[in-house]
Amino acid sequence: MKRRSIIKSLSFLIIFSLLFTLTENLYSRGYEHDLGLIYKAKSTIAHHNLNKHDNTVNINNNLLVLQKSKQTDNLKLQAKTLYKLSELYLVAGDFANAKVNAEKLYNLGVKTKNKISIGKSKYILGNIYEDYSKNYLSIEYFLSAYKDLNNNSFLKAKIYVSIANVYRNLDNFKEAAYYLNAANAIAESTKNKELKIDVLFYQALINLDEKKYDKAQNAIDESKQINKVLNNSDFSILINIISARIYFSLKEYDKALILFSKVANKNRDTKYISFIAYLYSGKIYIKQKKFKQAYIQLTEAKKLNDEIGQIAIHTRELDLAFSDYYSAQKQYNKAYHYLKDYFTRANKILDSANIANATILATQNGNMQIDVLKKNMLLSTKKINTIDKRNLLLYIIATLILILSILFLFLYANKKKYAAKLNLWNNTLDHQVKEKTEELREEIENRKEFEHEIKIAVSIQRSILPKVTDQYLRNEFTLSAKLLPALNAAGDFFDFFYLNEEKDKIAILIADVSGKGISAAFFMTLAKTVLRNTCIKSKSPAAAFNKANKILSTNNVECMFVTAFLYFYDIKTGEFIYANAGHHNAVLLNNNEPCRTFGNLGNLPIGVEHDEKFLNGTGELRTGEKILCYTDGVTEAVSPEDIEFGVENLFHLIEGYQSLSPQRLVDKIIEEVTSYEENSRFDDITIFVFRRNE
């Protein structure tokens, strides 16, 4: 019995050793793809937000906008908001809601016959199925989205990147590189830095799979240089993750562990990013034989994977890590159990990959067949037109002559009979024409009166906006502001005024009211009046926002709200205190340095939550520096091709002209944005620039 037991144990060890050797070969062939990281990187780059709280705020704000757009039956705004919501839910890992909003966008696109909406919905669904390793479904959606979005270069590039990633999952690095090069060509031609970083991330991951570590590091170094201009903290997180993976592959475990620990500690709420950090930290501790720390890290990774929904790729990597953990401690029974689960899941993913390859080939052949079919149909149509064109024309002419002849004979035969009726019809028609003419005249008069009232309202609204009078023309500072409404009446506004009789402190305010037209203008007038009064009676911008929020959220039946950025500037010292109510960050300009943003304090817009507590931030303006504030009408300006102007274009424009005076800088930005829109303005545009002179 004892001998049998020994033989059985030796057999088990031999089998386990063979499986373990096979597993090592899988590592060497690049089967470890880190799909969770790739997908998360892509979703993050789409929306630039890894912070859970900010993401929740953005989701809530967009839900409010969606509700308002449905009330006003604004289909274009509904489509835009549904796409934003599906992206935000995708980043949050809430695939159920991401899928719901993507399907709503698809149905709306079908209803309005808008190919861009249909294509965007398919692109989101492709990302969802890619994350669940359903490669055959994801590739179908990406290829279908490509057809619908063929005229949108930015989204076409994003689809190229997604298809490249599917090929990477299938170990077809040649095809993956081909599609990445196509995306890179678009990034270079459009000078889109964010898209360029997206391409570089995937290039680094492909180089990792091919064990080309120098090239992977070069790609990350290039992305770091670009991000110095963008100063995007989310890109920095992804750069740290991929840099840590490079160190791990080079067996520089201490350097890798520092970066993984940094990412895990700062991004616990971002489950995909944290999962990768904890997983690899556990692997490093196994290599270092620190098994207690390894178990803690792998257990944290498992918790995160359970919260995400036990994604197959992640679960497979966890199985392999736990197998290594127990094997290193010579607990071979447990190690064998996890290794067995690893191969079971690996086979399922391999089956999915084979189906995806077949789908790609079938689609390529299908496209060829479609082209041939189109040529045959065109040839047949041409022949039919050539043969029957003359006969069809003669048939139509003969039919018209016959109908006119019958009508003439009928009228002639019944001339007297129908004369009275014709006379009655004629009189009735004359009477109806007179009635309709009178109704139209009254309608025109009413419309003229209404338009006159609107002009008066617009005149009143514009008159309450402050002017740069002599009291604001001082040696210490220069300011300039301009507002271009989308409709006659605007929802944007700005304000500036002294806070004391000594005139050594000044308040600067820019704001954007939800909605458009007259209702937004009325709410804007109320909000501006309330904010000015609360500023004068408050010691800080946050205190002013707290008071204004209590007033504007009370009895707010229409659920209207206002985003605002406010700062109190000390003219003597250059110091300022600021608060941000769900508005865009302000931009700090210095002629000798790249521009940078500030002001994200995590507060909701005014009027949303009655008990919202607003926070203050502080800063100091040096001589020659400027603060630029703007509303979303600038960055969300849309070209005739339905492509947004974007934050990157704004930053590029500002850096090119930041040496201009405040007034000339404001005029230049408005000139560029209106030219980009080509007379298709969708939202109010407001820009405010303040410069310290001495």
- Verify that 240 and 163 share a domain, yes or no: yes
Burial class (CB in 10 A: 0-12, 13-18, 19+), 550: middle
- For residue 22, pLDDT over 50 is answered with no
DSSP state of 464: T
The answer to whether residue 461 sits within a structural domain is no
Domain count, the chain: 5
pLDDT band at 309 (very low <50, low <70, confident <90, very high): low
The answer to whether residue 591 sits within a structural domain is yes
Q: Find out whether 69 and 81 touch, Cβ atoms under 8 Å.
A: yes
- For residue 201, pLDDT over 90 is answered with no
- pLDDT exceeding 90 applies to what percent of the chain? 25
- Verify that 111 and 172 share a domain, yes or no: no
Kindly state the average pLDDT of the residues 183-193: 88
- Verify that 145 and 195 share a domain, yes or no: no
pLDDT band at 640 (very low <50, low <70, confident <90, very high): confident
Q: How far is CA 534 from CA 71, 93, 465, 538, 548, in A?
A: 31, 40, 17, 6, 6
- Verify that 556 and 679 share a domain, yes or no: yes
Least confident of 501-505, 521-525, 563-567: 521-525
pLDDT value for 402? 80
pLDDT value for 363? 45
pLDDT value for 456? 59
The answer to whether residue 445 sits within a structural domain is no
- For residue 682, pLDDT over 70 is answered with yes
- For residue 335, pLDDT over 90 is answered with no
The answer to whether residue 456 sits within a structural domain is no
The answer to whether residue 72 sits within a structural domain is yes
- Verify that 267 and 392 share a domain, yes or no: yes
- For residue 687, pLDDT over 90 is answered with yes
The pairing of beta strand 586-590 with beta strand 575-581: unpaired
Look up residue 18 and give its two tokens: 């063979």
Q: What is the CATH number of the domain that holds 169?
A: 1.25.40.10
Q: Which of 413, 437, 453 is the last residue of a domain?
A: 413
Between 536 and 304, the higher pLDDT residue: 536
Between 73 and 479, the higher pLDDT residue: 479
pLDDT value for 11? 45
The answer to whether residue 48 sits within a structural domain is yes
pLDDT value for 349? 53
Q: Which run of H or E residues covers position 139? A: helix 135-148
Instruction: Read off the pTM.
Output: 0.48
Kindly state the average pLDDT of the residues 145-152: 81
- Verify that 282 and 236 share a domain, yes or no: no
- For residue 458, pLDDT over 90 is answered with no
Report how far residue 515's alpha carbon sits from residue 65's, in angstroms, rounded to the nearest whole number: 8
pLDDT value for 373? 32
- Verify that 531 and 672 share a domain, yes or no: yes
- Verify that 264 and 381 share a domain, yes or no: yes
Between 344 and 299, the higher pLDDT residue: 299
Least confident of 350-359, 465-474, 504-513, 666-675: 350-359
Least confident of 61-75, 196-210, 277-291, 513-527: 513-527
Kindly state the average pLDDT of the residues 600-608: 91
- Verify that 205 and 314 share a domain, yes or no: no
444-455 as b/e: b if 16+ CB within 10 A = eeeeeeeeeebe
Residues 272-292 have pLDDT tens digits of 778 888 889 999 999 999 999
Domain range for 15: 1-27
- For residue 411, pLDDT over 80 is answered with no
Please calculate the CA angle 604-607-610 and round it to the nearest 5 degrees: 85
Kindly state the average pLDDT of the residues 15-44: 42
pLDDT value for 592? 79
Residue 252, φ and ψ in degrees, nearest 5: -95, 75
Report how far residue 351's alpha carbon sits from residue 355's, in angstroms, rounded to the nearest whole number: 6
Residues 65-124 have pLDDT tens digits of 888 888 888 888 888 899 889 888 877 667 788 889 999 999 998 999 888 889 888 888
Least confident of 147-151, 469-473, 480-484: 147-151
- Verify that 564 and 482 share a domain, yes or no: yes
Residues 578-603 have pLDDT tens digits of 999 999 999 999 887 889 999 999 89
Q: Find out whether 590 and 624 touch, Cβ atoms under 8 Å.
A: yes
Q: What is the CATH number of the domain that holds 40?
A: 1.25.40
User: Which residues make beta-bridge pairs with 691?
Assistant: 478, 626
pLDDT band at 269 (very low <50, low <70, confident <90, very high): low
pLDDT band at 438 (very low <50, low <70, confident <90, very high): confident
Q: What is the CATH number of the domain that holds 597?
A: 3.60.40.10
pLDDT value for 271? 72
Please calculate the CA angle 326-332-338 and round it to the nearest 5 degrees: 65
pLDDT value for 615? 96
The answer to whether residue 457 sits within a structural domain is no
pLDDT value for 374? 36
- Verify that 290 and 189 share a domain, yes or no: no
Count of CB atoms situated within 10 Å of the CB of 566: 28
pLDDT value for 617? 96
**What is the average pLDDT score of the chain?**
79
pLDDT value for 599? 93
The answer to whether residue 446 sits within a structural domain is no
- Verify that 569 and 505 share a domain, yes or no: yes
Report how far residue 100's alpha carbon sits from residue 279's, in angstroms, rounded to the nearest whole number: 31
Q: Which of 250, 266, 299 is the last residue of a domain?
A: 250
